[in-house]
Amino acid sequence: MRETIIEKSCELFLNLGFKSVTMDEIANALGVSKKTLYKYFSNKTALVTAVTNTMFEKISCGIDHVCGIDMNPIDEIFAIKKLVMEHLKDEKSSPQYQLQKYYPKLFLSLKQKQFQIMQKCVLENLERGVKLGLYREDIDVDFISRIYFIGITGIKDNDMFPLKNYVMKSLMNQYLDYHLRGICTPKGILQLEKQLKEN
């Protein structure tokens, strides 16, 4: 039952937002009493924590799987983007923004975990890209990996990029285009343009 509650809550939070969804609405959507929810989660914060941790684990496992396929680094970045978008369902409610606003401690903890996972993955991607001649030899991989993280999380800032004006999928594509053009060799640009046509 715990997993069912997490799954349904995740769906509701992604579509309507962490703040908007009440425990009553979650109970109604599941066809159970609120008492049943409180049997597994002491309060809404505990449920939000479980949901965000579950989402994080699923996305992390997916990223590990994509990185294990050993595709070329540019294709890998777009494959990870696709995976994240599938899990976050285009972020209609800007969950990251709501998490930051209403659950700041949880948001900071999640951001640190995201950085650790992404830093390792992005560093490996950059190093392989340089070796394969897709990325320029003179890039500072540590600096680029940090700037990449700031950018990819920054485009989810609802103050900067309001959801009524921007679609997350096209924002992600624009950001990846911006990021990769700054580090690609001519050979890498050809691969990037192939990906942009497909995406």
- Domain of residue 83, CATH code: 1.10.357.10
pLDDT number for residue 14:
84
Residue from 67, 87, 65, 89 nearest 76 by CA: 67
Tokens read off for 59: 């996305």
Residue 127 maps to a domain: yes
The 10s digit of each residue's pLDDT in 65-86 is: 998 888 999 999 999 988 888 8
Residue 156 maps to a domain: yes
Whole-model pTM: value is 0.84
Residue 103 maps to a domain: yes
Residue 79 maps to a domain: yes
The 10s digit of each residue's pLDDT in 107-140 is: 889 889 988 888 889 999 999 999 999 999 999 9
Residue 80 maps to a domain: yes
Residue from 19, 30, 12 nearest 39 by CA: 30
Residue 59 maps to a domain: yes
Range of the domain at 73: 52-198
The rounded distance, in Å, linking the Cα atoms of 169 and 165 is 12
pLDDT number for residue 89:
62
Q: Higher pLDDT residue, 89 or 59? A: 59
pLDDT number for residue 92:
55
H or E segment at 115? helix 104-131
Residue 97 maps to a domain: yes
Query: Taking all residues of the chain, what is their mean pLDDT, rounded to a whole number?
Result: 90
The most distant pair of C-alpha atoms in the chain lies apart, rounded to whole Å, by: 61
Residue 73 maps to a domain: yes
pLDDT number for residue 135:
98
The count of structural domains within the chain is 1
Does position 156 have pLDDT exceeding 90, yes or no? no
